[in-house]
Structure 1
Amino acid sequence: NEDPNALMIEASQVITELSALIERIHRTNAVAQTNEGQSMLTLLIERDTLEMRHKLLIEAIEATDTEVDRYSPREIKWHIMVSVAGLQKQADDIAMKLRKINIFIQANNWQIDLVE
């Protein structure tokens, strides 16, 4: 049996170490450049933006699902007001960009040392 108080102290120490590591990662990304001269921070912001746009499109597509939760399908008539195919094409394009930017970020991360 482990002492819960000791576990709490150890967990707190791990959180402190993690916080310091996260700070180093953020400081590194703020100054690091890729071989092409792009800022890592800019790439990460671009990736986050693409993820938000992709999520928005997927949620819009899912909202067009007209499965009826009522007693009778005649109670409510649903009309889809957006082009699901168009939204899906946009989502697919963004997903491809996300895959490419993630590969690019990962490849560059191997070449960048953390700042102290």
Structure 2
Amino acid sequence: MKLAEALAQRTAAMRQVEQLRARVVGSARYQEGEEPAENAAEVLARTGEVLDELEELIRRINRTNSATRVEGGGTLTDALARRDVLRLRHAVTSAAADAAAGQDQRGSVRQLRSELRMLPALPVAELRSRADLLAKEIREVDTLIQRTNWEIDLIEDGTADG
């Protein structure tokens, strides 16, 4: 199984756990004299089984990410950390540019010439340019991660699948 397939399975399992959780909560209590919609204990047991499967899948994904080398050096885990921090950097840089440009303030337009003007404390154009470069780098790292996810086999019991 390719890593990308395992990631899709992980997403599906997490969705299934959330659905089962909602069913357990909905069936955990019922009115005297009525039958519950479904057996909450059975649904809870099934949730436990799915969570056990999810835990094993996550362990295998994490082992694979840690053992997989990517082009440019480092592991897939390193690339994921890089992408996460780049996304945060981009968000902060974009927010700073928006704030300096006055885009995050309501009613920042002067009504009278006698009102004080608001001036940017940061270079908006430079920040926007930096945000554009960060966005490009995020796309490049994400492409590397996605390509690797479809090329690498999921590690099973400490060895590669095939």
Whether the TM-score (by the shorter chain) exceeds 0.5 is yes
> What runs of 5+ residues in structure 2 fail to find an aligned partner?
1-36, 157-162
For residue 110 of structure 1, give the secondary structure of its aligned residue in structure 2. helix
Give the Cα–Cα distance (whole angstroms) in 2 for the partners of residues 78 and 47 of structure 1: 35
Give the Cα–Cα distance (whole angstroms) in 2 for the partners of residues 88 and 113 of structure 1: 39
Change (3 A) 1:5 1:77: farther
User: Equivalent of 2:55, from 19, 36, 56?
Assistant: 19
> What runs of 5+ residues in structure 1 fail to find an aligned partner?
none
User: Equivalent of 2:106, from 33, 42, 67?
Assistant: 67
Q: What whole-Å deviation, never above 9, does each CA across 1:29-70 have from its counterpart, x for those lacking one?
A: 11112366542122122212211211111222333323238x
TM alignment of 1:48-63, pairs within 5 A: 48-63=84-99
User: Equivalent of 2:148, from 83, 108, 114?
Assistant: 108
Alignment-derived partner of residue 3 in structure 1: 39
Change (3 A) 1:4 1:46: same
Give the Cα–Cα distance (whole angstroms) in 1 for the partners of residues 154 and 143 of structure 2: 19
1:12 Cα deviation from its structure 2 partner: 2.8
Give the Cα–Cα distance (whole angstroms) in 1 for the partners of residues 54 and 116 of structure 2: 52
| Letter of the 2:96 counterpart | A
Give the Cα–Cα distance (whole angstroms) in 1 for the partners of residues 99 and 73 of structure 2: 41
| TM-score normalised per structure 1 | 0.79
Are 2:76 and 1:40 aligned? yes
Aligned length: 114
For residue 67 of structure 1, give the secondary structure of its aligned residue in structure 2. coil
Structure 1 stretches of at least 4 aligned residues deviating more than 4 Å after TM superposition = 35-38, 72-77
Change (3 A) 1:86 1:36: closer
